Structures are given as structure tokens and as C-alpha cells.
DNA sequence: GTTTTTCTGTAGCGAGCGATACACAAATCG
DNA sequence: CGATTTGTGTATCGCTCGCTACAGAAAAAC
């Protein structure tokens, strides 16, 4: 699907589409959707406005591609951590630690694009905000699902409120992203993660034997 | 200072300045600094642009007044909670519970203006963002100070990292504000607060006798 | 070669932005 | 009363926004 089918017919594109997209990612990541103008984008991408519109459609379509690219390159670590670790606790702890690292990684914009790019949007761009919000909700559902699986496995107390726990994790992640944007250092955010994980419920003592085995959600 | 000195000389203002300011607070609270246009403001305040500029200066000066008014009417509860409660733990718990209530109060914009009004700002308005950031930092300093006082009083373990604990509380508050803006209900945020407080360090068992007495910072 | 297709650069569209010039209205002061 | 001071309404200003018309450039197809 992504490979060129045959030789293209007309004048070839004079810039690398992937490289330009990567610069668009950085621009939107730094300033958010509305605060990033077409002029900002053409400057960062090194192309003119008509080239941008020919290659990516309009600003909204470019942003959609940017979000997908961001997810592919930088944003998937939460889903990955929760899916790969054997317990919800370990998945969440890994996700939070990676968040502290990712959101302060040198040479990149701070924080999370999905969290911060569509804050304070004017009504005209409400759809963009709704789209990113749904992505965040999806992440929380994954976490809540992992928590429920741990409860079923006796890895967490039976009265654990999975949705509340997922909301809590989401609040901490959003807070970490925000503080990273405010200039917080990685070590400070790791200390926050350390504290945040102290709120994790303790497993009932007698049923910790089944650790590592988790039924599919 | 705020009272009229004598009878004013020229044509009197045809609108109530305080009421108009209150509408400006709502507009900036809902949409943030940059996403709120002068046109939005004049519509909400029920006055024309020249009247706005005559009464409040420019957009930036109006926003500064809005921030001050917001702090006076809605924003002081964190400082109040931390200052009035006898221990840092009780102060923070009260602050978080009040945040869950305030940020979802019916008939008001969701979340906290100081947290959300200057997110995703373009470089031209960087000063506005810096100003609100400094207010947030000031709140965290108050919390860290209360924590240090509790450590000195034996109310918290001697190895408690006051700055990290304050950063954690700040992250939770920002997360709660964000989720409130995303539509979370008060009860859901209260569950998040309940969980967040489980991370609070336990006092060393033998020195809890001095509860209620705290030396001034 | 000529034709066809596609991309690029210039230049500019209508709309909205923050902010204001200017004439008129409404009050106090003498 | 006239003079002075201050606020209001209309009608913009210069600027930037997202976006595009149009002509020319660069490739394949014939």
C-alpha cells in the first residue's frame, strides 16, 4: 500500500514527504493544533504552502497524519507496557516510568502530543479535541481492562474499582506530561512516579501464588 | 483604593465594570487566553471594542485582571486549605477534595483557569504562560513548605522528599483539572483523590503525639 | 519532438485578528 | 448657558489566518 506502484507520471516531488511530516510532528507537538499556523508549518517543513496542500490536504488532514505518525514513533508505549507486562501493576509502573523518560527526552518537544495538542481549542476545532480525547479514553480502557484481569486473577483485591484506578493513572500521566512541558526534569518526574505507585492497592496476601498468569480480557 | 474618589467628570460608563469582568473571566476560563478573541469578549461582556479598551486596556491587561479576579473568587482554595489545616496531609487532602468539587461545579467552566488558560500558547504570548506557571509553582512551594513543617514535627518520616511530594500533588491536581475539562464527573474525581491520598507517607509510629502543633515555616 | 501529468513558486483571496480614529453623546464644572 | 471631560458607536486600520488561482517547471507517455 505504501510502496510506489510504478513510475509516477508528472513532475516528481522535490522534498521527502516523510521528513516533512516529521517536522510537522515537531511543530504540532510543541505548539498544539491551533497555535501552529500554516506559515509555521511551511517554514519548519521547508516547503511552500501549495506543496503542503498538494501533499497532505488541509491543515486538519495533515494533523491527522501527524497524530498517526506520533503514535507510531513515540506514543505507543503505554499500550505496549500494559499489554506486555504480566500484571497491571507492572504494566502501569512501566508505563509511568517510560512516560517520565519519554516526556523529557532530550532533543524532542516535552510532554505528550495526544494530551496537550488540542487543549484550549476554539469551537471551530472541537473535532480535533474530541479525537484526541477518544485516544486518551482508549488508553484508560486498556488500563482498566488490565486491572480487571488482575482482580479476576486474585492479583488485586476483589473490591478494586478498576475505572477509578485507571482514571487515577490517567490523571498522573496527564500531570506528568504537563509538568514536563513546564520544564520539570526527568529525575523529578521519576520521583513523582515513585510516589504515585504507592497508591497501588495491595494484593490479598493468600492469593499471590498465581502471579504471572493472567487470563485474556 | 477601589472606591470612587469623588464624582467623575465626563460621561459615565454605561455598563457595570465588575459584571463585564466576570463575563471575561468565564470566557477566558472556558477557551483559554489565545483562543478567546476580542470579538468573543465583547459579545460575552455586552460592550463594544472601544469600551473594552477604554475600561481595561488591551487584551493582556484584561487577562491580568481576569486572573486576579479568578484567584479572588475561585482559585484560592489550595492556599487556604494548606494554610488552615493543622497538618500537610489534611491540608492536601482538603485541597484535593475541594479541587474535585470546584473543577466540576455546576454553572461554571470546568477545571482551573490558572492550569489551563495558557496551554499551547504561541511564542507571542509566552509571557502569559510564564505568569500562570509561576502561580502554579508558588502553590507547590506552599505545599512543600507545609510538608517540611510536618517532617520537622515528626508528623512525616524524616526522609520525606518534600519537593517530590509537592510535585506529586501538583501533578494530581493538574490531572484532575484536565479530566474535569474532559467531562469527568465529580464523583469520579473524588475517587481519584481517594486513591491519590493512599500515596501519602505514613508517619513514624512513635512520634504522632504532637499532632496538631506545627511550627511556623 | 509534442502531449500529458504532476509539482512548485508567486501572488493574493476573503475572513478574522487585536487595536484604534473619529465624530457624537452624556455627564460635571465654571 | 458654554467649556471640558469622558464614554460610546461606526467604521475601519494593518496584519495574519487558512487556503488557492495561475503560470511555469519537470518528469513520463506518445
Residue with cell 494530551: A115
Decide if pLDDT at B175 tops 50.
Answer: yes
Contact flag, residue B6 CB and nucleic strand C, below 7 A? yes
List, in order, residues 6 or more apart from B59 with CB less than 8 Å away: B38, B41
Of B121, B189, B199, the CB nearest to A195: B199
Nearest residue by alpha-carbon distance to C1' of C26: B11
**Identity of the residue in B116, B168, B195 whose CB atom sits nearest the CB atom of A164:** B195
Are the C-beta atoms of A148 and A217 separated by less than 8 Å? yes
B129 min Cα distance to partner chain A (Å): 9
Task: Work out if A55's Cβ lies within 7 angstroms of strand C.
Answer: yes
3-state helix, strand, coil in chain B (%, to 5): 65, 0, 35
Mean pLDDT for B158-182 is 98
Q: What is the pLDDT of residue B184?
A: 97
Closest CA to A64 of A12, A127, A143, A108: A127
Q: Does A133 contact B182 at a Cβ distance shorter than 8 Å?
A: yes
Separation CA A99–CA A174 (nearest Å): 10
Strand, coil or helix: B26: helix
Question: How many CB atoms are located within 10 Å of the residue A11 CB?
Answer: 6
Question: In the structure, how far is the CA atom of residue A53 from the C1' atom of nucleotide D28, in angstroms?
Answer: 23
Chain mean position to CA A40: 23
Distance to chain B for A16, nearest Cα, Å:
27
Confidence tier at A203 by pLDDT (50, 70, 90): confident
Residue tagged 494530581 (cell numbers)? B172
Region A187-198: what's the mean pLDDT? 98
- A111-122 pLDDT, tens digit per residue, is 999 999 999 999
Residue B62's pLDDT is: 98
- In three-state form (DSSP H/G/I as H, E/B as E, the rest C), the secondary structure along B164-217 is HHHHHHHHHHHHHHHHHHCCCCHHHHHHHHHHHHCCCCCCCHHHCCCCCCCCCC
Residue A168 · residue B196 · CB < 8 Å: yes
Contact status, residue A76 vs residue A98, Cβ threshold 8 Å:
no
Q: Quick one: closest CA in B to A31, which residue?
A: B120
- Asked whether A102 and A176 are in contact (CB, 8 A), the reply is no
Q: Do A178 and B121 touch (CB under 8 A)?
A: no
Q: Grid coordinates standing for B153?
A: 514535627
What are B109-161's pLDDT values in tens digits? 999 999 999 999 999 999 999 999 999 999 999 999 999 999 999 999 999 99
Q: What is the mean pLDDT of residues A170-178?
A: 98
Average pLDDT for chain A: 92
- Count helices and strands in chain B by DSSP H and E runs: 10, 0
Per-position DSSP letters for A146-157, written without gaps between them: HHHHHHHTTSS-
Residues of B in contact with A185 (CB under 8 A): none
Separation of CA B44 and C1' D6 in angstroms? 24
| DSSP code, position A11 | P
- Protein CA A9 to sugar C1' D29 (Å): 8
Q: pLDDT higher for A217 or A147?
A: A147
Percent of chain B with pLDDT over 90: 88
**B120 to A115, A135, B30, B128: CA distances (angstroms):** 11, 19, 14, 11
Residues 6+ apart with CB under 8 A from B19: none
Distances (CA, A) of B39 to A101, A109, B36, B80, B120: 42, 32, 8, 36, 21
Say if residues A65 and A25 touch (Cβ distance below 8 Å): no
Give the residue-averaged pLDDT of A91-109. Answer: 98
pLDDT band, residue B215 (cuts 50/70/90): very low
Nearest CA in chain B to A131: B182
Find the length of chain B.
217
Amino acid at each position: 500500500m505504501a510502496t510506489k506502484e510504478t513510475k509516477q507520471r508528472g513532475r516528481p516531488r522535490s522534498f521527502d514527504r516523510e521528513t516533512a511530516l516529521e517536522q510537522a510532528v515537531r511543530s504540532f507537538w510543541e505548539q498544539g493544533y491551533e497555535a501552529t499556523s500554516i506559515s509555521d508549518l511551511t517554514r519548519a517543513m521547508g516547503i511552500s504552502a501549495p506543496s503542503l496542500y498538494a501533499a497532505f490536504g488541509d491543515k486538519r488532514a495533515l494533523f491527522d497524519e501527524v497524530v498517526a505518525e506520533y503514535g507510531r514513533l513515540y506514543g505507543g508505549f503505554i499500550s505496549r507496557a500494559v499489554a506486555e507486562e504480566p500484571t497491571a501493576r507492572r504494566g502501569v509502573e512501566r508505563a509511568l516510568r517510560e512516560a517520565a523518560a519519554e516526556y523529557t527526552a532530550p532533543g524532542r518537544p516535552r510532554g505528550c502530543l495526544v494530551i496537550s495538542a488540542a487543549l484550549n481549542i476554539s469551537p471551530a476545532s472541537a473535532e480535533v479535541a474530541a479525537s484526541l480525547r477518544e485516544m486518551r479514553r482508549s488508553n484508560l480502557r486498556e488500563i482498566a481492562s488490565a486491572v480487571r484481569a488482575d482482580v479476576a486473577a486474585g492479583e488485586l483485591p476483589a473490591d478494586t474499582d478498576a475505572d477509578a484506578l485507571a482514571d487515577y493513572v490517567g490523571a498522573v500521566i496527564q500531570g506528568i506530561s504537563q509538568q514536563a512541558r513546564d520544564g520539570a526534569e526527568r529525575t523529578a518526574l521519576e520521583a513523582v512516579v515513585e510516589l504515585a505507585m504507592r497508591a497501588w492497592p495491595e494484593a490479598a496476601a493468600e492469593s499471590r501464588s498465581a502471579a504471572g498468569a493472567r487470563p485474556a480480557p
